[in-house]
Amino acid sequence: MKIKNKVQGFTLIEMVVVLFIISLLLLIVIPNVTEQRQHANVISDSALKTELSTQRQLYLSDNPTESTVSLEKLQEEKYLSSQQVKQIKERNLDD
């Protein structure tokens, strides 16, 4: 008497259903991730503008004889880091 080994696995229909569900989930998740990234960029830009404004005010408070200050001067005087200056220039946040 021969015993046939029954091969277990997924049917084509089951695989199609799983792939369909995964694709639906991706269609829901990807736009939300994109929106969150854009929102984070807006918040980051706002925070960087606030930091720039605050550091300018501090510099002008410490140096009352000057009426304006450049990004390079703020970096030179250690009011801003080089990375902050780079980000401000890249994003055109300098007023």
pLDDT tens digits, one per residue of 10-25: 789 999 999 999 999 9
Whether residue 66 is contained in a domain is answered as yes
CA–CA gap between residue 81 and residue 78 (Å, rounded) = 7
For the chain, the distance separating the N- and C-terminal CA atoms, rounded to the nearest angstrom, is: 89
CA–CA gap between residue 31 and residue 18 (Å, rounded) = 21
Whether residue 75 is contained in a domain is answered as yes
Whether residue 68 is contained in a domain is answered as yes
Whether residue 15 is contained in a domain is answered as no
Whether residue 6 is contained in a domain is answered as no
Whether residue 7 is contained in a domain is answered as no
Q: At what angle do helices 12-62 and 82-90 cross, to 10 degrees?
A: 110
pLDDT tier for residue 42 given thresholds of 50, 70 and 90? very high
Whether residue 52 is contained in a domain is answered as yes
Domains of the chain: total:
1
**Domain of residue 51, residue span:** 35-95
**What integer pLDDT is reported at residue 38 of this predicted model?**
92
- Higher per-residue confidence, 93 vs 56: 56
Side chain identity at 35, as an amino acid letter? E
